[in-house]
Amino acid sequence: MNIDSNIIENKYKQEFDFISKLYLKEIFPHAWIFHGPKESGKRKFLGLFIKKVLKKKQNEQFVYEINSDENIAMIDDVRKLITQSNLTNSVDRIKKTFLVINNLELLNKNSVIALLKTLEEPPPNTVLILITHNLKLIPQTIKSRCIKIKFNPYKLFDNNYKNDLEKENLLISDGYPSIYNLLLTEEGNLIKVEVKKILDLEALEYIDFEKFYLKISKNFDVFFPLFINIIFFTLKLNFKNHDCDLNKKFKILSFLDFLKKNFRKDFFLDNKKVLFLILNEYFSLDLSQ
Q: What are the tens digits of pLDDT across the range 86-113?
A: 776 555 556 788 999 999 999 888 888 8
Q: How far apart are CA 113 and CA 75, in angstroms?
A: 10
- Whole-prediction pTM value? 0.67
Look at the domain 5-156 and name its fold.
Rossmann fold (3.40.50)
Domain ranges of the chain: 5-156, 164-283
User: Are 91 and 85 in contact, with CB atoms under 8 Å apart?
Assistant: no
Instruction: Show Cβ contacts of residue 45 under 8 Å, excluding neighbours closer than 6 positions.
Output: 8, 12, 15, 16, 34, 151
- How does pLDDT run across 155-209, given as a tens digit for each residue? 777 665 677 888 888 889 887 778 888 998 999 999 999 999 999 998 899 999 9
pLDDT at position 72, please?
82
The interaxial angle of helices 109-120 and 75-85, nearest 10 deg, is 10
